[in-house]
Amino acid sequence: MKSSAQQKSRLVYLLFIGLALLFPAKVFAVYSFSIDSARIQGALLMYFPLREYTAAARLTLTEPTVILRQGADNLRLDIPVIVSISGEGQRRGQVVVDVGLHYKPSTGELFLGIPRIRSFNMETISGERQKTFRASLADVLVKTLPLVRIYQVREQDLNHSLAKSEMKSMHVEDGRVRVSIGFD
């Protein structure tokens, strides 16, 4: 005869199996990794300096600084700007950009997302000219930043098909960007 403990153990096991068959759980597989600011900075430097030519001036965006704010769900880029105005010389300024991440499942590549200019400051430039330069900066950043690949997931890391994966989350923690790629 079986002991009472064995019978209870078997009953719990059968109950668990029965519930699992009645209410199948959706299985989620998640692959998490982190990226430091140096890696992102290195990827950006392959694209910078950026230059945009307008009718009135030449804008040059130089070495961006990556800022990772604790708990944020985006990255911040602090980018020095030099504007060369015909007949007036150079002016220096700063553009601050918030940018998320975009994951391309077919290749496992993680790119910078569409940027949003948070602020643009340039001393000694009129408000109307600043608006014009800001629009030009937005244009060049939207065309360039989404091309910057900062990471590539390998299919063997996932143990699943890349094509069925998607980015589940992204946030900054302990000075690193934490990303989770998952499957439904």
DSSP per-residue codes, 49-78: SEEEE-SSEEEEE---EEE--TT-SSEEEE
Q: Nearest to residue 180, comparing CAs of 161, 165, 163, 167?
A: 167
Q: Count how many domains the chain has.
A: 1
Q: Which domain holds residue 162?
A: 4-183
**CATH code of the domain containing 169:** 3.15.10.40
Secondary structure (3-state) at 28: coil
pLDDT one-digit tens code per residue, 34-49: 999 999 999 999 999 9
Cβ-based burial of 17 (10 A; exposed 0-12, middle 13-18, buried ≥19): exposed
Secondary structure (3-state) at 165: coil
Whether 76 contacts 67, CB under 8 Å: yes
pLDDT one-digit tens code per residue, 49-74: 999 998 889 999 999 999 999 999 99
Q: Nearest to residue 120, comparing CAs of 109, 110, 111, 129?
A: 129
Has residue 160 got a pLDDT over 80?
A: no
pTM, full prediction: 0.80
| Token code pair at residue 49 | 């300096």
pLDDT one-digit tens code per residue, 81-117: 999 988 888 999 999 999 999 999 889 899 999 999 9
